[in-house]
Amino acid sequence: MLETGPQDASPETLVPPDPHVVVLFGATGDLSKRKLLPGLFHLDRAGHLSDCRVVGTSLESIDTTAFRRMARQACEEFGRGQVSPEEWHAFERRLSYVPGSAGPTGLAEAVSVAEDEIGEPSRLLHYLSVPPKAATGVVRMLGDAGLVERARIVMEKPFGVDLASARELNAEVHKVFAEEQIFRIDHFLGKEAALNILALRFANGLFEPIWSRNFIDHIQIDVPETLSIEGRGGFYDETGAFRDMVVTHLFQVLAFVAMEPPVELAPTAITVEKNKVFRSMKGIRPEDVVLGQYAGYRDEPGVAADSETETFIALKCRIDNWRWSGVPFYLRTGKQMAEGGRIISIAFREPPKSMFPQGSGVGRKGPDHLTFDLDESSRVSLSYYGKRPGPGMFLDKLSMQFSLNELGIAGDTLEAYERLIRDAMGGDHTLFTNAEGIEELWNTSAPLLEDPPEVLTYERGSWGPEEIHELIRPNRWRLPFQRRWRD
């Protein structure tokens, strides 16, 4: 049970950022419809924005009226709660559209009109919801349009495909924008559960002393997906599961789990500690990796008939520093798997000697685990052995669980993209990655990218190739759970 006082301050009551013009590239695309436009609408009606205008742009030759109609449909289909006529009327007047064919001049004019409507000094936030290949072209366009001063730029994953391309992309972006203006987004770090890792680790005397190799046996970060590539064959076949998910998401979550305490809860201090983790990671060895491709992947539209792109990856990595020496980190993600999930599972070392008799149940269900569920309910579970009521000494695996839904304020929280958009507007880099961190991760990945293992076939609806069990032995994958989360 959470104890709070009636006057407890909430981080959601922070002062809204400065007035902004948001330039949304790829405004008619899937991410824009599912997350960005509904997110901006929610931020606006919840009072998290000052005066704001959204200038949408993409390759589609539509007008502002059509864009507003599309945006309303997106907010009604993918947003949270009902869209009332009054709320929508207040929001849609903030929306305008300029086709990409208008070029730098047309875009600059549309932004100027939006700034005039605000009527006071404002900032620019450029959100690049575009394919990675198009990013440098958009960056150059912003430079040509003179839309760099007072601006920040949000860039989607993947940021490069290897160390050389990441360095090249960083160099190109730095020709136009300074590093402090760049926000490389990873929506996993915007989730309440990811932030709760920091709170649980560093705010509690119960957990801080045991967060090391002395008490932790191994750690799993597991993100299986039931979805297929969903019509993204052209993009996915050039990217694969490792570049799409591990470098951009799972390694970032790993850094939150593994980093040293920052000197303060501030963007620079947290970034420094995350980058130390990336520098300490040993190169990913091919023999510590299992790659898979679901049966029928090559029949997907846009996928090469002889494709060797992985839709699944499981790997073991190690952090070569004092805190984590000898503790393996197991990461797994894949498409078309048996269940979807997003968990971080901390397995604690078992007692060195058991005084309990054989048959008591001790050790039968593995070590104690602290488990974070990264979905929007932000659940946390601590499992442990406890005595079964009745005669004799028989032990069962028990658990204590917490869910954000128990507080009755889940509807007041920000979803990941909403939080990250707001942070970018405020210039807060805490949940974003800098150029150094990206390049360190590609450097760690080099051995795997240079000599990848064979890609194995796995059946749709499975948990991946059978070889994953040998990878993690003598431990076991935590998904699927033997015990389900309580509602």
Domains of the chain: 17-156 (3.40.50.720), 189-414+434-472 (3.30.360.10)
pLDDT of residue 7: 37
Q: Distance between alpha carbon 486 and the CA centroid of its chain, in Å?
A: 24
- Tokens 């922070």 sit at which residue? 14
pLDDT of residue 482: 66
Nearest residue to 254 via CA among 157, 350, 346: 346
CA 432, CA 370: separation in Å to the nearest integer?
25
pLDDT of residue 390: 80
Query: Angle formed by the axes of helices 251-258 and 267-280, to 10°?
Result: 100
Query: Angle formed by the axes of helices 135-144 and 103-118, to 10°?
Result: 70
pLDDT of residue 6: 35
pTM of model > 0.85: yes
pLDDT of residue 199: 86
- Tokens 């948001």 sit at which residue? 22
- Tokens 């839309």 sit at which residue? 147
Catalytic residues: 249
CA 127, CA 418: separation in Å to the nearest integer?
13
List CB contacts of 318: < 8 A, sequence separation 6 or more. 281, 282, 324, 325, 326, 327, 328, 329
- Write b or e for each residue in 184-219: b if 16 or more Cβ atoms lie within 10 A of its Cβ, otherwise e: bbbbbbbbbbbbbbbebeeeeeeeeeebeeeebbbb
The CA-atom distances, in angstroms, between 306 and each of 243, 300, 317, 452, 459 are: 20, 12, 29, 16, 18
The answer to whether the Cα torsion of 170, 174, 175, 181 is positive or negative is positive
Structure tokens at 15: 């002062």
Q: With bands split at pLDDT 50, 70 and 90, how would you rate the model's confidence at 266? A: confident
Backbone φ and ψ of 246, nearest 5° = -75, -55
What is the per-residue pLDDT across 68-88, written as a single tens digit (0 to 9) for each? 999 999 999 998 888 999 999
Average pLDDT across the chain, whole number: 89
pLDDT top residue among 293 and 419: 293
Over range 410-418, report the average pLDDT.
Answer: 75
What is the per-residue pLDDT across 96-109, written as a single tens digit (0 to 9) for each? 999 999 999 999 99
| Residue 364 predicted with pLDDT over 80 | no
The pLDDT > 90 percentage for the chain reads 65
Running DSSP on this structure, what letter comes out for residue 243? I
What is the per-residue pLDDT across 120-139, written as a single tens digit (0 to 9) for each? 889 999 999 988 788 999 99
